[in-house]
Amino acid sequence: MLKDSFFKPKRNYKEIDPDEILLDSRNIPDLDTDQFEGRLERPISRSILHGLVGLFIIIAGIFVVQSWKLSITHGAEYRLRSEKNSLRPSPLFAGRGLIYDRKGELLAWNVPQAEDEVPRREYATSTGLAHILGYVRYPSKDSNGFYYREDFEGVDGVENYFNEELRGVNGSRLIEVDARNTIVSQNVVRLPEQGNSLKLSIDSHVQSALYRNIENIASGGRFVGGAGLIMDVNTGEIIAMTSYPEYSPQIMSDNTDNIQVKALLNAPGLPFLDRAADGLYAPGSIVKPYIALGILEEKIIEPDAIVVTTGSISIPNPYDPNKTSVFRDWKNHGPLDMRRAIAVSSDAYFYITGGGYKDQKGLGILNMDRYLNMFGFGMPVPASFAQGKAGTIPSPPWKKKTFNEDWYIGDTYHTAIGQYGFQVTPLQVVRAVAAIANGGNLLAPTIISGDKPKIDHVIDIPAKNFDIVREGMRMSVESGTSQGMNVPYVRVATKSGTAELGKSKEKINSWITGFFPYEKPRYAFVIILEKGLVKDQSSAGAVMRRQLDWMKEHAPEYFLL
């Protein structure tokens, strides 16, 4: 026993508090130690705290490193992957409104594609409609496949002027795609709304026939181009309005054949020029009916009074009295009253009554300007689909501004027969002819079927004076310059014109204007052939005769009284 106590280590005992004795687990056998009953709470040791701080530092370091890799080292890659694996807004394209002619013939429509593609615009293959219809540019994508332009853009013609009505409202949808750009799901947010359809006043068959008849006469280098219009004299509705040559709306809209597009853009005949509305031409003798109305209104001469013409007039040269300036007629017509002067298109008659000669007083250039303005010459057509250029009526202020020269009596003579600096558009002419036919209502032209007639203004000239001019135009068909228009199936009244061009006068513009039926006018027309050889016997009158013959066979309803 002593031995045992010798080898055991000596223990140090501390004094124990009574509280510790009472809480000793050995003294409280009934407590559940697994639930920490009867155990003392001890403070966390410093080593554990240090360990936890170290762990947090490690975790934060890992987070920073991973963030660096995600945003800096592989940022572009993950950003692109994120974009590809996301929800994308995508447009649902609305179809454009359909375009019909006055008889319900479909002229422009949409061909549906696959669901996420733009509907294709298609046009009737009929000729002569390009400048009426125009064409469209499609919505466009960027290099990443996103649409930066989501709407159709109308270019030229009805597609441009009525773009807001035709284009509709696009719908939208959300597309979910994965990293491989595969569509996972999609959801329509808004359905598309198709654009409004339009019914035009154009008769597409009449218009195509008019284009072909112009083409047949003008082609082969005989004329550079041409244009034609037919308009309702009571409503202003345009039945036909065509320009030769023309472009292809389908080729320009598709824009897939670069060779064909380039050929159209560089064509020498200027197929994108709408000659009917924007072509400016010297009118020649087609202005004589309007000069005649001014002469009647100002009581320059009585309509039955005889003016003896001899094929020319001569006046002293203002700079040399020993010399004379000669103004020639195209033919010696002899004695003429006003009706006959219109019918045979006498230049000398309108030199004398328009500018004055010897004892005969003339209308004068200022009055000429005033009456020509009444019929819409020298000013823009009121805002409408068919508006066009203003043109020019020669006048002393115009000459001073343009050439810094004084006005002479010879300038008045030339203006009276539609020469000198006179320029008009075919659209202006058809409005003016319609005003003669209907007795003085200058109409705003419209391209929409059933549009309410809009009168620009009423020309305050007595009906009897309009009757005299209309009689002269009818006489032109019966025994004057337009006898080729004397057809048995409808009575037509016309005024033809030939405008000489340039100093050499080797080129001409050929015109025919008029209305039908004569007894109860319904339609005015105008045809121009541009820059033909003066020796060529082809004329605008030949075009209109072919057109009348075609209409007799295929559209006789236009001749009904």
What is the enclosing helix (H) or strand (E) of 107? strand 106-111
Q: Are 226 and 543 in contact, with CB atoms under 8 Å apart?
A: yes
Within-domain flag for 70 = no
**At residue 93, what is the residue type?**
F
Is the domain of 226 the same as that of 258?
Answer: yes
Residue 55 pLDDT exceeds 70: yes
Indicate the pLDDT class of residue 480, thresholds 50, 70 and 90: very high
Within-domain flag for 400 = yes
Per-position b or e across 21-49, b if 16+ CB within 10 A of its CB: eeeeeeeeeeeeeeeeebeeeeeeeeeee
Residue 236 pLDDT exceeds 80: yes
Is the domain of 269 the same as that of 418?
Answer: yes
259: which 2 tokens? 């060779």
Is the domain of 465 the same as that of 547?
Answer: yes
Residue 503's pLDDT is 72
Closest residue by Cα to residue 130 from 258, 277, 257: 277
Choose from 82-91, 299-308, 527-536 the range with maximum mean pLDDT.
299-308
Q: 285 burial class (0-12, 13-18, 19+ CB within 10 angstroms)?
A: buried
Instruction: Give the strand pairing for 198-199 and 99-100.
Output: parallel
* Cα torsion through 272, 274, 275, 279, rounded to 10: -100
Is the domain of 208 the same as that of 128?
Answer: no
Residue 181's pLDDT is 60
Residue 172 pLDDT exceeds 60: yes
The CATH number of residue 171's host domain is: 3.90.1310.10
Q: Cα–Cα distances in Å, from 418 out to 212, 474, 509?
A: 28, 20, 12
Residue 1's pLDDT is 40
Q: Which residues, at least 6 apart from 35, have a Cβ–Cβ distance to it below 8 Å?
A: none
Within-domain flag for 385 = yes
More confident: 112 or 230:
230
Is the domain of 371 the same as that of 384?
Answer: yes
Residue 7 pLDDT exceeds 50: no
Indicate the pLDDT class of residue 85, thresholds 50, 70 and 90: low
Residue 441 pLDDT exceeds 90: yes
Choose from 150-159, 204-213, 415-424 the range with maximum mean pLDDT.
204-213
Closest residue by Cα to residue 484 from 510, 458, 452: 510
Instruction: Please state whether the peptide bond connecting residue 517 to the residue before it is cis, i.e. omega within 30 degrees of 0.
Output: yes
More confident: 124 or 39:
124
Looking at 170, 199, 228, the residue that finishes a domain is: 199
Closest residue by Cα to residue 546 from 499, 485, 489: 485
Residue 165's pLDDT is 93
Indicate the pLDDT class of residue 31, thresholds 50, 70 and 90: low
Q: Are 248 and 233 in contact, with CB atoms under 8 Å apart?
A: no
Is the domain of 177 the same as that of 218?
Answer: no
Q: Are 231 and 430 in contact, with CB atoms under 8 Å apart?
A: yes
Residue 349's pLDDT is 96
Residue 22 pLDDT exceeds 60: no
Indicate the pLDDT class of residue 146, thresholds 50, 70 and 90: low
Residue 45's pLDDT is 72
Within-domain flag for 318 = no
Is the domain of 127 the same as that of 152?
Answer: yes
Residue 376's pLDDT is 95
Residue 189's pLDDT is 74
Q: Cα–Cα distances in Å, from 107 out to 276, 410, 449?
A: 20, 50, 14
Within-domain flag for 492 = yes
519: which 2 tokens? 């007894």
Q: Cα–Cα distances in Å, from 439 out to 234, 373, 450, 459, 464?
A: 10, 16, 22, 8, 9
Is the domain of 237 the same as that of 175?
Answer: no
**At residue 431, what is the residue type?**
R
Model confidence, pTM: 0.81
516: which 2 tokens? 């039908």
List the domain range (segments joined by +) for residue 380: 204-306+338-345+352-559
What is the number of structural domains in the chain? 2
The CATH number of residue 273's host domain is: 3.40.710.10
Is the domain of 208 the same as that of 256?
Answer: yes
Residue 32's pLDDT is 56
SS3 418: coil
28-32, 202-206, 294-298, 457-461: segment of lowest average pLDDT = 28-32
Within-domain flag for 331 = no
Q: Give, in degrees to the nearest 5, the angle at Cα 96 between 94 and 101.
A: 155
Is the domain of 147 the same as that of 216?
Answer: no
Instruction: Please state whether the peptide bond connecting residue 445 to the residue before it is cis, i.e. omega within 30 degrees of 0.
Output: no
Within-domain flag for 429 = yes
Residue 8's pLDDT is 39
Residue 10 pLDDT exceeds 50: no
Please state, rounded to an integer, the average pLDDT across all residues of the chain.
86
Residue 13 pLDDT exceeds 70: no
Indicate the pLDDT class of residue 4, thresholds 50, 70 and 90: very low
162-166, 215-219, 322-326, 447-451: segment of lowest average pLDDT = 322-326
pLDDT by residue (tens digit) across 367-398? 999 999 999 999 888 877 877 888 999 999 99
Dihedral sign (CA 254, 256, 258, 260): negative
SS3 469: helix
Number of residues in the chain: 561
d(CA 462, CA 460): 7
Residue 23's pLDDT is 46
Is the domain of 184 the same as that of 254?
Answer: no
pLDDT mean over 415-424:
93
Looking at 199, 219, 253, the residue that finishes a domain is: 199
SS3 436: helix
* CA atoms within a 13 Å half-sphere pointing along the CA-CB vector of 520: 4
More confident: 48 or 325:
325
Residue 489's pLDDT is 96
d(CA 249, CA 257): 13
Looking at 199, 214, 240, the residue that finishes a domain is: 199
pLDDT by residue (tens digit) across 275-329? 999 999 999 999 999 999 999 999 999 999 999 999 999 988 777 778 888 999 9
Residue 183's pLDDT is 64
pLDDT mean over 147-166:
86
Residue 235 pLDDT exceeds 60: yes
Residue 401 pLDDT exceeds 80: yes
Within-domain flag for 1 = no
pLDDT mean over 525-533:
92
Is the domain of 424 the same as that of 369?
Answer: yes
Residue 187 pLDDT exceeds 50: yes
Dihedral sign (CA 459, 460, 466, 469): negative
pLDDT by residue (tens digit) across 89-109? 777 888 899 999 999 999 999
pLDDT mean over 59-66:
78
d(CA 465, CA 439): 9
